[in-house]
């Protein structure tokens, strides 16, 4: 039996993991489940899975949960209690699926555990990738990327020598506004941006997908996960979300990894530790028997500045990933509150990425200190 902790259990990734676990309950003991404020969903899951411990970041929600909880599950008061507990009682498997870098401490704990980390929380790699990967390597933690592009790359790169690679492409669906220019999408409403054609994900990542910022984060994610040369990394648009990555060898031949767009595939591999034939039953690419069209196009030229920022983050590190993620986060929140239009997300990123002071980040304290400064700066604009 494997012990399992889930950070972000009420979200889209968390819920899909639980959908798999529901069929394999006898193989797992559920340790610490963490979310922010979704009390109703948390109660539902606690009653079904009986985790030993639970933690909610939001204080009001935590009190509300305490009053409604009848199960045996105990509630941790503070994130430091979660860390203390897991340091002396490490789980065999951690799923890191919180949608921001607010709980980076938990991903660090899992990275240092020497156990198995299923990493969906891409923000942690964007803002702290180098250090995090060092923790993972030094502690011998087994890492499974829970992002379709990186899961597919993991499978390709397991079988290809790095010296033989010329370029690596990760693909983007392009989201709901694929094929439209920056001018055409300038005033798109949140309900339009949230209407993703292929993926059912949390709000933040769905907006990032519509702006293509998500794909830029994924370039950075790929660089750190697989220690790749930033100059070899590129993005292509593949609107059907069937091809997730392509590795071009030096002789021009290309290995593409394909699957139906579903996070159940990487999650099943991570949780069950095997390429399960049960997964294939639901996600077989039988679609190729039909006359299916796969199309590929270039990353839109009018948003190439985003690629420039991503390359700067990958090549120069320091607080650059934090600046990119924090300004984007700030802009997306404003957009979802109706305070700015869609096009303004780009303007805010381009304007303030270059303005904010660049510096080294040597520790988590450094990172938090710099995050506070950036947020103060953003609050004043
Ligand atoms: P959701 O918005 O659906 O869920 C986010 C989860 O994080 C919820 O459980 C939420 O709790 C929790 N959470 C948010 N903030 C905090 C906090 N401060 N403290 C504790 N818990 C918190 O996001 P997704 O599941 O879509 O995405 C999760 C991560 O996975 C992201 O990093 C995303 O980029 C990545 N990812 C997602 C994919 C997808 O298909 N969804 C694909 C690839 C990567 P609550 O519900 O209480 O708010
Ligand atoms: Mg992805």
Together in a domain, 243 and 213: yes
Looking at the DSSP bridge assignments, the partners of residue 258 are 243
Q: Are residues 159 and 132 in the same domain?
A: no
Residue 205 CA: nearest ligand 1 atom is: 34
Q: Which of 105, 117, 203, 205 to mutate to test the pocket of ligand 1 (most atoms within 8 A of CB)?
A: 205
Q: Are 235 and 217 in contact (CB under 8 A)?
A: no
- Tell me, in angstroms, the distance from the centre of ligand 1 to residue 377's CA: 26
80 and 173 assigned to the same domain: no
Q: How far is the CA of 249 from the centre of ligand 1 (A)?
A: 35
Cβ 145 under 6 angstroms from ligand 1 = no
Does 98 lie in the same domain as 183?
no
Number of domains within the chain:
3
Mutational test site, ligand 1, from 5, 10, 11, 204, max ligand atoms within 8 Å of CB? 11
Instruction: Answer whether 38 contacts ligand 1 (Cβ < 6 A).
Output: yes
Q: Please state whether the predicted TM-score (pTM) of the whole model is above 0.95.
A: yes
Is the C-beta atom of 199 inside 6 A of ligand 1?
A: yes
Q: Are residues 242 and 300 in the same domain?
A: yes
**CA–CA separation, 292 and 155 (whole Å):** 24
Distance CA 266, CA 275 (A): 9
CA dist 55 and 34 (Å) reads 5
Residue-number span of the structural domain to which 114 is assigned: 2-145
Looking only at the bridges linking them, the beta strands covering 93-96 and 2-7 are parallel
Tell the residue number behind the tokens 């979200």, with chain if given: 11
Q: Which of 145, 160, 182 is the last residue of a domain?
A: 145
Closest by alpha carbon to 31, among 103, 115, 111, 90?
90
Measured in angstroms, how far is the CA atom of residue 86 from the centroid of ligand 1? 21
With respect to residue 266, please indicate whether it lies within any of the assigned structural domains: no
Domain final residue, candidates 109, 127, 145: 145
The answer to the question of residue 12 being in a domain is: yes
Determine which residue's CA is closest to atom 43 belonging to ligand 1: 147
Q: How far is 149 from 205, CA to CA, in rounded Å?
A: 14
Distance from C-alpha of 7 to C-alpha of 28, rounded to nearest angstrom: 16
Q: How far apart are CA 8 and CA 14, in angstroms?
A: 6
The answer to whether position 335 is within a domain reads no
Nearest of 310, 290, 288, 289 to residue 299 by alpha carbon: 310
pLDDT by residue, tens only, the chain of 381 residues: 999 999 999 999 999 999 999 999 999 999 999 999 999 999 999 999 999 999 999 999 999 999 998 768 999 999 999 999 999 999 999 999 999 888 999 999 999 999 999 999 999 999 999 999 999 999 999 999 999 999 999 999 999 999 999 999 999 999 999 999 999 999 999 999 999 888 888 999 999 999 999 999 999 999 999 999 999 999 999 999 999 999 999 999 999 999 999 999 999 999 999 999 989 888 888 867 777 889 999 999 999 999 999 999 999 999 999 999 999 999 999 999 999 999 999 999 999 999 999 999 999 999 999 999 999 999 998
**Does ligand 1 lie within 6 Å of residue 54's CB atom?**
no
Residue 274 within a domain: no
- Cα–Cα nearest to 221, from 211, 236, 233: 233
Judge whether 267 lies within some domain: no
Residue 169 shares a structural domain with residue 313 = yes
Whether residue 164 lies inside any domain: the answer is yes
Matching residue, tokens 């004043």: 380
Give distance in angstroms: CA of 238 to centre of ligand 1.
24
* Segment holding 244, helix H or strand E: strand 243-249
Distance 334 CA to ligand 1 centre (A): 18
Query: What's the farthest any 2 CA atoms get from each other in the chain?
Result: 64
End-to-end CA distance of the chain: 52
Residue nearest to atom 36 of ligand 1 (CA): 120
- How far does residue 125's CA lie from ligand 1's centre (Å)? 15
């Amino acid at each position: 039996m494997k012990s399992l902790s889930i950070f972000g259990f009420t979200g889209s990734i968390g819920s899909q993991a639980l959908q798999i676990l529901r069929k394999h309950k006898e193989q797992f003991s559920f340790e610490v489940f963490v979310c922010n404020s979704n009390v109703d969903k948390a109660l539902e899951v606690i009653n079904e899975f009986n985790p030993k411990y639970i933690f909610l970041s939001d204080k009001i929600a935590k009190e509300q949960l305490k009053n409604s909880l009848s199960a045996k599950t105990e509630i941790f008061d503070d994130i430091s209690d979660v860390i203390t507990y897991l340091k002396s009682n490490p789980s065999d498997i951690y799923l890191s699926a919180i949608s921001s870098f607010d709980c980076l401490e938990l991903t660090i704990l899992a990275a240092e555990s020497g156990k198995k980390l299923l990493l969906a929380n891409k923000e942690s790699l964007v803002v702290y990738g180098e250090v995090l990967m060092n923790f993972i390597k030094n502690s011998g933690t087994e890492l499974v990327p829970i992002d379709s592009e990186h899961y597919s790359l993991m499978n390709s790169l397991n079988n290809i020598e790095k010296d033989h690679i010329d370029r690596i492409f990760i693909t983007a669906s392009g989201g709901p506004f694929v094929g439209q220019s920056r001018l055409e999408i300038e005033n798109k409403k949140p309900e339009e941006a949230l209407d993703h054609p292929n993926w059912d994900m949390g709000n933040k990542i769905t907006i990032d997908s519509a702006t293509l910022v998500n794909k830029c984060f994924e370039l950075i994610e790929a660089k750190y996960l697989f220690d790749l040369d930033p100059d070899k990394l590129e993005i292509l648009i593949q609107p059907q979300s069937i091809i997730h990555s392509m590795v071009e060898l030096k002789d021009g031949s290309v290995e593409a990894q394909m699957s139906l767009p579903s996070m159940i595939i990487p999650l099943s591999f991570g949780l069950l530790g095997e390429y399960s034939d049960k997964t294939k039953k639901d996600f077989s690419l039988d679609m190729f028997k039909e006359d299916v069209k796969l199309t590929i196009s270039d990353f839109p030229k009018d948003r190439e500045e985003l690629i420039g920022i991503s390359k700067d983050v990958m090549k120069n590190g320091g607080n650059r990933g934090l600046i990119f993620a924090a300004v984007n986060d700030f802009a997306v929140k404003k957009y979802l509150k109706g305070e700015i239009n869609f096009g303004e997300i780009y303007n805010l990123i381009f304007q303030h990425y270059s303005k904010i002071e660049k510096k080294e980040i040597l520790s988590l304290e450094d990172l938090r200190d710099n995050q506070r400064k950036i947020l103060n700066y953003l609050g004043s604009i």
